[in-house]
Each structure stands twice: as structure tokens, then as C-alpha cells.
Chain A
Amino acid sequence: MIEVERVSKQFGELEALHDVSLAVHQGSIYGLVGSNGAGKTTLLKLLAGIYKPDTGNIMIDAQSVFENEAIKARSVFIPDILYFFHNYTIQDTADFYAHIYPQWNHQRYLKLAGVFNIEVKRRIRTLSKGMQRQVAFWMGLSLMPDVMILDEPLDGLDPVMRQKVKQLIIQDVADRAMTVIISSHNLRELENICDYIGILHQGKMLIQKDLDDLKADVHKIQVAFSTETPPALIDEMQALYHEQRGSISIFIVRGSHSEIVSRIQAYAPAILDVLPLTLEEIFIYEMGDNGYEIKNILY
């Protein structure tokens, strides 16, 4: 279980995180999304015990993370910019990790060699970006972590490898109740594997929720009337967003599906479609609510 309690972190004048709290239960996969520069990497580095919070607590299994060897021995952080020792081969790196991490599992390492299929005598710096990322997962999964902290982890992997890596992570979550926190901009990818989502913007946590609840709570509605859209309906909807495209009105509305439908049915629409939002759309509308919106830019 990962707990972050009211954490703030400043770098000089820049406040990277402000009063952020979150909890990730054991065996859960938490997806962290946010605008560029929102503080995702800072938060993950705090979780990995690399940075020390200015205020607040960061705990894994009720122990403070910073400078805590026992916690670090059973957690893995794969950063967005990977680091390997200069001139080390894959085998050298594995030997080093086996020496450092008490939960290192050599059988696992040998078995994963079949998945990643890279010659262990290769020097890591001679490998491509995507292959280096594979090596990071290979090492990370071999040390049987209880917690995985992943910063843009699937970047640079080809589609086959993405699928394989996701499967490996999911297996560990299902088998050993591994806890995972993962940041990504690829929202569609997060949608399948995460059960909890947090949206970070300018150092603050805007929203965090069970993904299914998040999706069940907001709807996109397309409605058309044989005459003009009744103004009373537009007032009544209290939409997060409203747009008129010809005779079709588009609303983004919070609330339960059945309640929204019955409210609109009262106005006898000619067409009524209610669609759940994708995570991508939720992200865009939540951000728009906070002054970070897509404006149509024409040059």
C-alpha cells in the first residue's frame, strides 16, 4: 500500500507539487496522468525515495520511503530517462542487481531471457532505446518487486513488446498482488490496465477516482429536436460543456445515465444518444474546466 499525505515539493522558486495526497492499495494499478510539467515525475521520484518531500509524508506499507533501504529493496523505479552503468553488459547488470536486491530471482531472470530475447553479452549502451527499456523491465521484474513505480514506461517499445510487458506486469499483479503506479500520456493504454486514475495539473491533484466510476459519472450526449433545441433544456442540463453543431446539441454532463435520459426525454427529442466518455475526453474536459483547454488555433 502506497500512501502520500499532503506532500509539497519546491525547487527554488518553482512549486512542483502542492498539497498532493493519494493512496494506492496493494494489488492495484494506479494511472497518473497530467499536463506537461504537472509534476508527475517529481511525484514518482518522491515515491521512489529519490527526492525528500518539503512537507507531508510518503509511506509504503506504513514506513517512510526516503533513505529507507528495506523499502527500496522491494520496490522498483523505472525512470523516464534510463540509467545504466557505462560499458556494462546485460549479464553484468544482472549480477550487480542480484548482489544488491535480496528478492532477486535468478530463475525469473533466465525465463525472461526468452521473452526479451536479447543476447546477454551485449553492452547495454550499444542497444537501441526500445531495447534498453526492455532491459529495464527485464531487471525490474527479475527482482520480484512488491511495488513498481513506472514513469512513461512503454515509451519507445514496439506494439508487440508493449503487449508483452503489460502482460508481465498484470501477471505479477494477479499472482503476487504487486502494487503499480504508472504515469503515461497514452491514455488509451492506461484505460485497459489501470483501475484507478489520478489527474495532476500544475502540481495539484485535480481528481482521483476509480476508473469505472469516473467513466460512469460523466456522459457525452448528442440530442436533436425537430424544431429548435428548447432553451429551458440547455439551462436545466448544467453541462460541463455545450456545443451546437447545426441542429444537434452536444452536452457533456455529470450524473447518472438513467437520470439524464429521463430529464431529456421530457422534452421529446427526435434523436438522443448517450455515450460514456473515453479517458482522453475526461482528461480534456477536466483540464478545460481548469483553464487548460484546446483552443482552435488558426494561423
Chain B
Amino acid sequence: MFELDLRSRAPIYEQLVDKIIELIISDVLKPDQQLPSVRILSSELTLNPNTIQKAYRELEYRGYIYSLPGKGSFVRPALAEDNSARLLNLEKELNRIITEMLYLGLRPDEILARAEDLLSAAKGGNIND
């Protein structure tokens, strides 16, 4: 169902957590949809089952999934997580991008114009879906 980059330096369970969050946020995994069992996923990705268990526990702790004993893990519909850390990261990233754009010679008003374009595109995306 998805691939991990096993050559990446990031710990595998972190990659797994990030990947599943990405799939949930982008609505590929729908609310209340069942996640693959530990057994199936470990065999598909050739990963230690304990690593997958650990990733599922982390996802559950962070409120992205819930588990039913004997049934498996499911996507939790409404997300009640504290996003401040992630937002802070994104802000840093934005800062880095803007700094680089300025360095490459874009004027502040050009950057603003592009950001406005992107913003209206992101808003429009939902309507034209």
C-alpha cells in the first residue's frame, strides 16, 4: 500500500508514522477505514512487526487512529491534536524559502503576489474538485 525509503536515515518507525499521517491528512485513508494489520504490513514491507506495532501505538497516542481489541486499527475521524509544534516547523520552513527567494533576487511584492496566487488556488481547489 505504500513504500518506505529504507535507505533514509530517519528511524523506520518515524517514517512509518509520518507516512500514515500523510495518508490520513490527504484523505487517502478515510475516517474509520481499517489500517492493514501488523502482520500483513510487516510482511509487505519486510519490517519487524514490533516496529509497526510501535508506530501504531504512537499514532494512537497522537490521536490519528484508534484500535478495537481483536479487530484492528482504524482512522480516527476528527483530529484533536495539538498542532503547534508542526506549525512552528512549517513556519521555519517558510522562513527558509522566503530567505532563499530574496537571495535569488525576487522582490518582496513579487513573493507576496505568488503567495496570494497559491492561497487562492488552495482555496479554489476544494470547489473545483
Residues of A within 8 A of B (CB): 27-29, 163, 166-167, 170-171, 173-175, 188, 191-195, 211-212, 215-216, 275-278
Known: A215-B11, A275-B9, A277-B9. Is A167-B46 also a contact (CB below 8 A)? yes
Docked CA distance A175–B37 (Å): 11
What are 28 residue pairs bridging A and B, where the CB atoms are less than 8 Å apart in the complex?
Answer: A28-B50, A163-B46, A170-B42, A170-B46, A170-B47, A170-B48, A170-B49, A171-B42, A171-B43, A173-B50, A188-B6, A191-B6, A191-B12, A192-B6, A192-B12, A192-B48, A193-B46, A193-B47, A195-B48, A195-B50, A195-B51, A211-B11, A212-B14, A212-B54, A216-B11, A276-B9, A277-B9, A278-B9
Contacts of B38 in A (CB 8 A): 174
Count, chain B residues at interface, CB 8 A: 19
Docked CA distance A216–B51 (Å): 14
> Could you count the A-B residue pairs with CB atoms below 8 Å apart for me: how many are there?
59
- Are B13 and A212 interface neighbours, CB within 8 A? yes
Contacts of A277 in B (CB 8 A): 9
Minimum CB–CB distance for A115 against chain B, Å: 13
Partner of A193, one of B10, B13, B48: B48
Docked CA distance A28–B50 (Å): 7
Interface of A is mostly: helix
Partner of B10, one of A167, A170, A188, A276: A276
- Are B13 and A175 interface neighbours, CB within 8 A? no
Q: Tell me if B62 is interfacial: C-beta within 8 Å of chain A.
A: no
- Are A174 and B11 interface neighbours, CB within 8 A? no
Chain B 63-98 against A: per-residue CB contact (8 Å), 1 yes, 0 no? Answer: 000000000000000000000000000000000000
**Minimum CB distance partner of B49 in chain A:** A174
Contacts of B12 in A (CB 8 A): 191-192, 212
Contacts of B107 in A (CB 8 A): none
Chain B 31-66 against A: per-residue CB contact (8 Å), 1 yes, 0 no? Answer: 000000011001100111111001000000000000
Docked CA distance A278–B51 (Å): 16
Docked CA distance A194–B47 (Å): 8
- Are A174 and B39 interface neighbours, CB within 8 A? yes
Docked CA distance A116–B50 (Å): 27
A-B contact sample (16 more), CB < 8 A, given A173-B49, A192-B12: A29-B48, A166-B46, A167-B43, A170-B46, A170-B49, A171-B43, A173-B42, A174-B39, A174-B42, A174-B49, A191-B6, A192-B47, A211-B11, A275-B9, A276-B11, A277-B9
